[in-house]
Amino acid sequence: MHVGPIKGFQGMTDSELLIETMDKRVQRRDERREFFKAAFGVGAFAVGGAAALSFSAKADAQTALTDADILNFALNLEYLEAQFYAYAANGTGLTAAQQTGTGTQGAVQIGTGATQARRVAFTDAAVAAYAREIAADEIAHVNFLRTALGTAAVAAPAINIAGGAGSAFAAAATAAGIAGGSTFDPYSSDDAFLLGAFIFEDVGVTAYKGASPLIQSKVFLEAAAGILAVEAYHAAIVRTTLYARGVATPALRTNADAISNARDTLDGTSDLDQGISPLTRTGATTLESNIVPLDGNGIAFSRTPGQVLNIVYLNRAAVTMGGFFPAGVNGTLRASAAN
Amino acid sequence: MKDQQTVLEIIEKTQARRTERRAFMRAAAGATAMVGGLSLLAACGNDDDDTPTPTPTPTPTPTATSASVDVQVLNFALQLEYLEAQFYSYAAFGVGLPAASLTGIGNAGSVQTGTGAGFPRAVDFSGDPVIGQYAREIAYDEIAHVNFLRTALGSAAAAQPAINISGDTAGAFTAAARAAGVVGATATFDPYSSPNNFLLGAYIFEDVGVTAYKGASPLITNATFLEAAAGILAAEAYHAGLVRTIIYNRGITMASLITSAQQISDARDSLDGTSDLDQGVGGTNIGVLATGVSNIVPTDNNAIAFSRTPQQVLNIVYLNRASVTSGGFFPAGVNGSFTASGAN
């Protein structure tokens, strides 16, 4: 169904009309304010100096979040995912030119010695093929968001994707209570790689979904919906593979459950996460898998930026750095929620 | 200058960004053939402006409102969910949805059933219990989607139309498989006959739901519905990722599965027009440890999932590349405002 030109705008294509609409549109102030409160109001946001000044200026402006703020938040997460998968699949990370931008650029911390970030010595051709595919997708997401943001794109902050003792991955595995978690090395085997990937994957889905109603540009909204879909496909690859391999190696399922529980503890009291172990629904007599983490309506969960940062900072308090981002993320959205 | 204003300026005012947006918009609009006046309404409808924004009068649908756009989109989604829920429910449990879950506006129809091979029935997963566990999970999810959309739409919900999910000689699955070349021109394809056939049957639908929800996302005006639709989109992508992962993994030792999936993708791509909106799972160097790259996720070069318009989605479920109002899995068409497939 295609509707013809709109009165008063004859001669313009639909695309031009839509662009005009976006360019001229007054901000959705009320909705933005509401999110502003949700994103920032919950935390004490007790930081001084320039950050506080910046926050104050934003409050005065009453403009809250722009699409650029939201896309930049997503870009921080994509930097993290891209670096992890690129090292695991290819043994190298993003190029220097793919990491520049506004804010404080940091280095990717790959660690040293036997457990440093490196190409996984895959033994399962399917898992290796998945890793290469996901790495290429995440690198493409970084490039896409950087292009969409242009000069507004934030730089890649410091990112810790090392394996082994003292690494963010080990801290996450320890928080989850996984056996041997304090030395967890996601590059050490096919299974370890899958569990490392599991730490991130569903989080990206919930982050994009939570941001979806805040994006003002319909063009960016549809693009974000397309990235959300891709993250959900990725999460399904990882969860399905862990589930299937869990038939022979039950610890894979219970470890994934433990990571899910850790995420759920970090992000507050609401239940926004599910493991993969099979369950029997009330009234049913047969097992079903739990590849897809959904609410009772069959709908995926949402996380606010603050909740997402709780997970990647590995801290349930309101902080501005930690875990996989030792110096915090760049951009407007940088404080985790107080849970 | 305040940070926010700086960013706003960059986004809203610079010529470079504007040019880029135009290019992006053309690409997006070209790919999805966005619904002209309706999409403009959608873009305007959610502005919490302090002063009323004059609403351009769309032609030739002057009565369209933002609310009705949402109803139209959600009802279209509901038609697809009826189809998916019935297929998975029969495959997993051997029964369809209860009658009370199928009522509503429009022409109510039923699932065409029968007895014996080809007709909707429970798949025997006893030799492949993990696939049975996936089937039950997806079935519950799709039933939940039907119930959620019906509740959200309330009295505006459209009824389930007639549905053909049979794999007999006159079945829509057989027609789809013949068109794709998965089976010969006179052979049948019964998705209930084995776990692997069930996976291929599921594959016919799964990515289509993802592209349908993504294509509809910018049309939805209500932020609550939008977020819900994004959540269903995610669920469909998880489902599709599940099915595609299993097909790829099994296909390393059973190449016919990957071949069949590619044929189904090619058939969908042929039905929905000239743009390339579909991909198989094989990728490159299948099964080669050192160099194999799977293609579980069908995406464009930016690693963004594809969009389909309602018309393109109907081309696929009607199994017809022409502009028609019924056929294939919906022998009497769908209920609601989007009923005609595209002319491709």
What per-residue confidence (pLDDT) applies to B126?
97
Alpha-carbon distance of A330 to A334, in angstroms, equals 7
What is the nearest CA distance from A55 to chain B, expressed in angstroms?
9
A22 belongs to a structural domain: no
In chain B, residues 214-273 whose CB comes closer than 8 Å to chain A = 214-215, 217-218, 223-224, 226-228, 230-235, 237-242, 244-246, 248-249, 252
The pLDDT assigned to A61 comes to: 38
Mean pLDDT computed over B65-84: 91
**Structure confidence by residue, pLDDT tens digits, B81-96:** 999 999 999 999 999 9
CA distance B344 to B341: 9
The pLDDT > 70 percentage for chain A reads 81
How many contacts, defined by CB atoms under 8 Å, are there between A and B?
352
User: How confident is the model over A232-242, as a mean pLDDT?
Assistant: 98
B2, B224, B292: residue with CB nearest A129: B292
Q: Does residue B213 lie within any of the structural domains?
A: yes
Q: How far apart are CA B287 and CA B300, in angstroms?
A: 23
For residue B252, name the pLDDT band (cuts at 50, 70, 90): very high
Identify whether the C-beta of residue A300 lies closer than 8 Å to the C-beta of residue A206.
yes
In-domain check, residue A225: yes
B271 or B23, which is more confident? B271
Within a domain: B262: yes
- Tens of pLDDT, residues B144-169: 999 999 999 999 999 999 999 999 99
Residue A150 lies in a domain: yes
Give the span between the Cα atoms of A305 and A320, in whole angstroms. Answer: 12
Q: Which domain holds residue A182?
A: 28-312
Distances in Å between the Cα of A116 and the Cα atoms of A84, A128, A187, B284 are: 11, 19, 8, 29
| pLDDT above 70: residue A9 | no
Q: Tell me the pLDDT tens digit for each residue of A31-88.
A: 333 333 333 322 222 223 333 323 333 333 345 899 999 999 999 999 999 999 999 9
Per-residue pLDDT at A283 = 87
A3/B24 touch (CB, cutoff 8 Å), yes or no: no
Confidence of residue B261 (pLDDT cuts 50, 70, 90): very high
What are the backbone dihedrals phi and psi of residue A110, each rounded to the nearest 5 degrees, phi first?
-100, -5
Q: Kindly state whether residue A158 falls inside one of the protein's structural domains.
A: yes
DSSP result, B31-97: HHT--HHHHHHHHHHT---SSPPPPP--SS-TT--HHHHHHHHHHHHHHHHHHHHHHHHHHHHS---
| pLDDT category of residue B45 using cuts at 50, 70 and 90 | very low
Within-domain flag for B335: no
Using 50, 70 and 90 to split pLDDT, how confident is the model at B4?
very low
Residue ranges of B 87-126 with Cβ closer than 8 A to chain A: none
What pLDDT, on a 0 to 100 scale, did the predictor assign at position B57?
A: 33
Q: Give me chain B's average pLDDT, please.
A: 84
B291: closest CA among A240, A119, A143? A119
CB A151 within 8 A of CB A98: no
Taking CA atoms, B188 is separated from A2, A28, B29, B49, B259, in Å, by 37, 54, 39, 58, 17
Q: What is the DSSP letter of A38?
A: I
Residue B50: inside a domain: no
Within-domain flag for B208: yes
The pLDDT score that the predictor gives to residue B66 is 61
Element at A255 (helix H, strand E) = helix A250-266
Q: Report residue A255 as tokens.
A: 């470890």
A1 lies in a domain?
Answer: no
* pLDDT of B193 strictly over 90: yes
Mean pLDDT over residues A115-141, rounded? 98
Domain count, chain A: 1
The pLDDT value given to residue B34: 29
Q: Which residue has the higher pLDDT, A141 or B28?
A: A141
Q: Is residue B61 part of a domain?
A: no
Q: Which residue has the higher pLDDT, A264 or B59?
A: A264
Q: What's the mean pLDDT in B22-37?
A: 31
Query: Is the interface score ipTM higher than 0.85?
Result: no
- Does B112 map to a domain? yes
Q: What is the phi/psi pair of residue B133, to 5°?
A: -65, -40
Average pLDDT for A255-268: 97
Give the structural domain span for B190.
66-317
Residue B67's pLDDT is: 62
Global pTM reads 0.83
Task: Using the predicted structure, report yes or no on whether residue B282 has a pLDDT greater than 50.
Answer: yes
Residue among A18, A58, A234 with most chain B CBs within 10 A, to mutate: A18
Chain A residue with the nearest C-alpha to that of B289: A125
Higher pLDDT, B51 or B263: B263
What residue type is assigned to position A125 of the chain?
A
pLDDT of A246? 98
Q: What's the total number of domains in chain B?
A: 1
Q: What is the mean pLDDT of residues B59-77?
A: 71
Instruction: Please determine, for residue B52, whether its predicted confidence score (pLDDT) is greater than 70.
Output: no
Residue A203: the pLDDT is: 96
Identify the band that residue A14 occupies on the pLDDT scale cut at 50, 70 and 90: very low
Interface with A, mutate which of B7, B89, B220 (most A CBs under 10 A) = B7
A12: in domain: no
Q: What is the pLDDT of residue A130?
A: 98
Task: List all residues of chain B from 10 to 29 with a beta carbon under 8 Å from chain A.
Answer: 10-12, 16-18, 20-22, 24-26, 28-29
pLDDT at A241 over 90: yes
Is position A287 within any domain?
yes
Check pLDDT > 60 for residue B259. yes
Q: Is residue A11 part of a domain?
A: no
